[in-house]
């Protein structure tokens, strides 16, 4: 169903063409692929012959793997509104596959953020030029002993020696030697060729002694765990990565402890902003399903949509979708126009938009009754996928706490100058 966008009046012909192309990809490629992968084991999702691989090749052929990257390096060079348009349609198609395409880009995107010209030439430009999905990134931050506390800068424990990371690195001459394990929640972890790796360099400073590097995953000493089984976003590959005396050049370190927290804030701003845009898509998908079903399902001699109370229920799904779009679109416009980005706005967007999207998915199940619990309809998948968003990229409670820390430390901010 074609969904009306209240901001169509502000879209150029190029914007509208981009929106239609992204929706076509989401409807004809993402939805069928996600449905097929959802029924498969985690191991089969990434096995040879899986529908995942033709999906990825098609996404790369269309350039969707480089949506965030500047045209200067070979990216799509989209403006903030266009980035939102593409990501909203992808979130509508499949949240899990959207996350996968997002993390595939992340090592290369952050290399650009950090301005590492060596890695831009060696990895970013080839990634942008890739059309066969043979270059794939992942975001390796979560660990067996550390989840959302990995991003809890500002907490008193963050910089204490008791915060010991599972992945450690030491400098030997011009190389870092890396040992440890990332947890099973690394998105794209078992299929990536490169990692944006968070690791600890100076344990005496806790996570204040951390660093961030780009690491090719074909190096000696890198091994993978098995793909993770989970209830939602089953089309999103996740799995462990192990490091046994893995060596990288010193120049591959994007941030040492002197720059770790500023780069962490930039990464959080980007990741949570994007999560909010995908939430627009999944909220919209739930609303559309509710509206269509309510016009077709007859109860009490007439369609559900003709019942007084039911009209109010469906309208609330519509209202949440529009609120999510307004929040996420404005945050994308803000944080792709200022440097450094204002992380607190991205944290608002992620925490609020994922909560409202989950409410839409939950309400869709309630509207559909027993039918909403069956595999015949997309409703139960939207519900499972939306539930995971409240935890992904930092659980919402931790993100809200971190947002409060920013307010306490830096407000009032000076006026923004665009």
Percent with pLDDT over 90 in the chain? 87
| Chain centroid, CA 102 distance in Å | 5
Residues 252, 64, 82, 385: is their CA dihedral positive or negative? negative
- Check whether 8 has a pLDDT greater than 50: yes
Give the mean pLDDT of 194-209: 97
Rounded-to-integer distance, Cα 282 and Cα 262, Å:
31
Distance of CA 198 to CAs 88, 111, 250, 357, Å? 28, 13, 14, 29
Q: Place 1 in a pLDDT band, splitting at 50, 70 and 90.
A: very low
**Inter-helix orientation angle 379-389/343-368, to 10°:** 150
Predicted local distance difference test score (pLDDT) of residue 10: 77
SS3 content of the chain, % helix, strand, coil (to 5): 55, 15, 30
Domains of the chain: 6-129 (1.10.540.10), 137-258 (2.40.110.10), 261-410 (1.20.140.10)
Rounded-to-integer distance, Cα 310 and Cα 48, Å:
46
Rounded-to-integer distance, Cα 164 and Cα 158, Å:
10
Cis peptide before 134 (omega within 30 of 0): no
Q: Place 418 in a pLDDT band, splitting at 50, 70 and 90.
A: low
Contacts of 340 (CB under 8 A, 6+ apart): 262, 265, 266, 269
Half-sphere CA count of 227, side-chain side, radius 13 A: 19
Rounded-to-integer distance, Cα 239 and Cα 229, Å:
9
- Check whether 6 has a pLDDT greater than 60: no
- Check whether 193 has a pLDDT greater than 50: yes
CA-CA-CA-CA dihedral for 375, 357, 97, 49, to nearest 10: 0
| Residue 228 three-state SS | coil
Rounded-to-integer distance, Cα 39 and Cα 53, Å:
16
Q: Are 59 and 98 in contact (CB under 8 A)?
A: no
Predicted local distance difference test score (pLDDT) of residue 413: 79
What the block records as the tokens of 67 is: 């949506």
Rounded-to-integer distance, Cα 186 and Cα 107, Å:
13
Mean pLDDT rounded to a whole number for the chain: 94
Give the mean pLDDT of 269-278: 96
What the block records as the tokens of 118 is: 């060596």
Q: Place 411 in a pLDDT band, splitting at 50, 70 and 90.
A: confident
């Amino acid at each position: 169903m074609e969904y009306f966008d209240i901001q169509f009046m502000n879209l150029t012909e190029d914007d509208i063409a981009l929106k239609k192309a992204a929706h076509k990809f989401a409807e004809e490629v993402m939805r069928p692929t996600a449905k097929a992968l959802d029924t498969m084991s985690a191991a089969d999702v990434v096995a040879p012959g899986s529908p995942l691989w033709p999906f990825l090749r098609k996404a790369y052929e269309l350039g969707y793997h480089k949506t965030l990257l500047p045209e200067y390096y070979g990216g799509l060079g989209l403006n903030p509104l266009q980035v939102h348009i593409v990501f909203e349609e992808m979130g509508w198609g499949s949240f899990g596959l959207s996350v996968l395409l997002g993390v595939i880009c992340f090592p290369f995107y952050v290399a650009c953020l950090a301005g590492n010209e060596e890695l831009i030439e060696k990895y970013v430009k080839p990634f942008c030029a890739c059309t066969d999905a043979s270059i794939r990134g992942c975001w390796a931050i979560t660990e067996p002993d550390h989840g959302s506390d990995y991003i809890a800068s500002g907490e008193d424990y963050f910089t204490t020696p008791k915060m010991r990371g599972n992945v450690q690195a030491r400098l030997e001459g011009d190389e870092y030697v890396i040992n440890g394990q990332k947890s099973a929640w690394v998105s794209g972890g078992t299929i990536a060729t490169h990692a944006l790796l968070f690791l600890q360099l100076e344990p005496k400073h806790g996570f204040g002694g951390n660093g961030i590097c780009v690491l090719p995953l074909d190096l000696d000493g890198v091994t993978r765990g098995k793909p993770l089984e989970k209830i939602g976003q089953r089309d999103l590959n996740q799995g462990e990565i192990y490091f046994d005396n893995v060596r990288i050049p010193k120049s591959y370190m994007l941030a040492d402890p002197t720059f770790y927290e500023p780069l962490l804030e930039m990464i959080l701003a980007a990741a949570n902003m994007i999560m909010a845009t995908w939430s627009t898509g999944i909220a919209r998908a739930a609303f559309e399903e509710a509206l269509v079903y309510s016009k077709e399902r007859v109860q009490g001699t007439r369609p559900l949509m003709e019942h007084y109370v039911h009209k109010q229920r469906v309208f609330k799904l519509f209202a949440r979708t529009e609120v999510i779009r307004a929040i996420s679109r404005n945050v994308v416009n803000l944080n792709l126009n200022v440097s450094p980005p204002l992380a607190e706005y991205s944290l608002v967007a992620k925490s609020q938009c994922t909560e409202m999207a989950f409410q839409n998915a939950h309400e869709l199940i309630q509207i559909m009754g027993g039918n909403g619990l069956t595999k015949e309809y997309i409703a139960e998948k939207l519900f499972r996928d939306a539930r995971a968003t409240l935890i992904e990229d930092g659980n919402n409670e931790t993100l809200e706490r971190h947002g409060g820390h920013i307010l306490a430390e830096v407000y009032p901010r000076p006026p923004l100058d665009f």
